[in-house]
Amino acid sequence: METIMDSYQRFLTGDDSGLTAIIAAYKDGLILYLTGIVRNIATAEELTEETFVKLVLKRPRFDQNSAFKTWIYSIARNTAIDYLRRNKRADISLDEAPQIADEEDLERTYIQREEKILLHRCMKQLKPEYRQVLWLAYFEDFSYREIARILRKTTHSVETLAYRARLALKNILIKEGFEYEGL
**CATH for 147:** 1.10.10.10
**Residue from 149, 130, 4 nearest 73 by CA:** 149
Q: What is the dihedral of CA 8, 13, 15, 16, to 10 degrees?
A: 60
User: Averaged over 73-81, what is the pLDDT?
Assistant: 90
Residues 116 and 78 in one domain: no
Domain end among 57, 86, 115: 86
- Whether the CB-CB separation of 30 and 78 falls below 8 Å is answered with no
pLDDT above 70 as % of the chain: 77
Tell me whether residue 68 is in a domain.
Answer: yes
Domain extent at residue 12: 4-86
Between these two residues, 169 and 110, which has the higher pLDDT value? Answer: 169
> Residue 182: pLDDT above 60?
no
Provide the greatest CA pair distance for the chain.
54
Residues 115 and 62 in one domain: no
Residue 157 binned pLDDT confidence (cut-offs 50, 70, 90) = very high
- Whether the CB-CB separation of 172 and 122 falls below 8 Å is answered with yes
Tell me whether residue 180 is in a domain.
Answer: no
Burial class (CB in 10 A: 0-12, 13-18, 19+), 100: exposed
Note the pLDDT of residue 144. 92
Distance from the first to the final alpha carbon of the chain = 39
> Residue 154: pLDDT above 80?
yes
How many domains does the structure of the chain reveal? 2
Residues 13 and 46 in one domain: yes
> Residue 105: pLDDT above 50?
no
Angle at 159 (CA atoms; ends 158, 162), nearest 5 degrees: 85
Between these two residues, 175 and 162, which has the higher pLDDT value? Answer: 162
Coil, helix or strand for 138? helix
- Whether the CB-CB separation of 145 and 155 falls below 8 Å is answered with yes
What phi and psi values does residue 105 have, to the nearest 5 degrees? -135, 100
List, in order, residues 6 or more apart from 162 with CB less than 8 Å away: 133, 134, 137, 144, 147
**C-alpha–C-alpha distance, residues 163 and 26, integer Å:** 27
